Amino acid sequence: MRVATWNVNSIRARVGRVVDWLEREDIDVLAMQEIKCKPVQFPTEAFEAAGYEIIAHGLNQWNGVAFASRIPMEDVETNFAGQPGFLKGAEGPDQPLEARALGVTVAGLRLWSLYIPNGRSLEDPHLIYKLDWLAKLRDATQAWSLANNNGPIALMGDFNVIPTDEDNGDPTIVVGQSTHVSPEERAAFASFADIGLVDTVRPFIPTGYTYWDYKQLRFPRNEGVRIDFILGSQSFADSVTGATIHRNERKGEAPSDHVPVVVDLDVATEDDDDRPMIF
């Protein structure tokens, strides 16, 4: 089973590119972020023609998350327990929820497509929102794991955190001056390891970035960062047999500024019995 995550940065602008990649790379399940559309606006037909079912969660032209899967999806959730909201200039606990989280169960795996808030600047209230969002996501994941006997779960998507200096190749992002690398954000990311989640990609791909800014020739200079992850429980990680970061998807005509991150899993699906035996 091949599972991937990709911040597509507007699915309507890149539908042909995404569907072509899905078919070419034989992807079973893709978590998408920044779809930037409502479900009724999602280009579902192109995916269905390629054999994929779509579940999308979007409220307007900002944010938005989705799954494309050729394996049945169940137990759909459009937010996690305790997920905080945000409204610029407003305070209090009852702010509107943004379309940043979508959970599904596929072949017994609990998968989340996540678009973590950016934070904007070290002085912006959006950073407080980001840290609260990560803390509540951690709590919800831990509660799910305890309630489901530490079953296989993966948090996939754009975390907007650069966890180590080795993950940062952008000279404009400086510890003490920039979001994504602040001690608070790095500690929030590291706290997922405290509840048993592991980076399922780095053991197979020890170097490499997942995002390059469109400005200042960041991609040709390879001045990128790693902010897209597949964090899995130990039971999920134990089934991972390989991983890839598809750097070439940052090339060509009208690419997203992010690239796909993929893991291969040794997981049985309902279709396995129907596949021909190869000796």
**Are 231 and 198 contacting, i.e. CB atoms less than 8 angstroms apart?**
yes
pLDDT, residue 272, reads 53
pLDDT, residue 251, reads 97
* Residue ranges of domains in the chain: 2-268
Phi, psi of 21 (to 5 degrees): -65, -40
* Cα–Cα distance for residue pair 209/33, rounded to 1 Å: 17
* Cα–Cα distance for residue pair 172/276, rounded to 1 Å: 52
Report pTM.
Answer: 0.95
Write the single-letter amino acid at 106. V
Write the single-letter amino acid at 148. N
**Are 270 and 107 contacting, i.e. CB atoms less than 8 angstroms apart?**
yes
* Cα–Cα distance for residue pair 168/171, rounded to 1 Å: 8
- Indicate the SS3 state at residue 51: coil
- Structural fold of domain 2-268: Deoxyribonuclease I; Chain A (3.60.10)
- Indicate the SS3 state at residue 115: strand
Rg for the chain, CA atoms, rounded: 18
pLDDT, residue 271, reads 62
The parts of the chain modelled with pLDDT lower than 50 are: 273-279
pLDDT, residue 276, reads 41
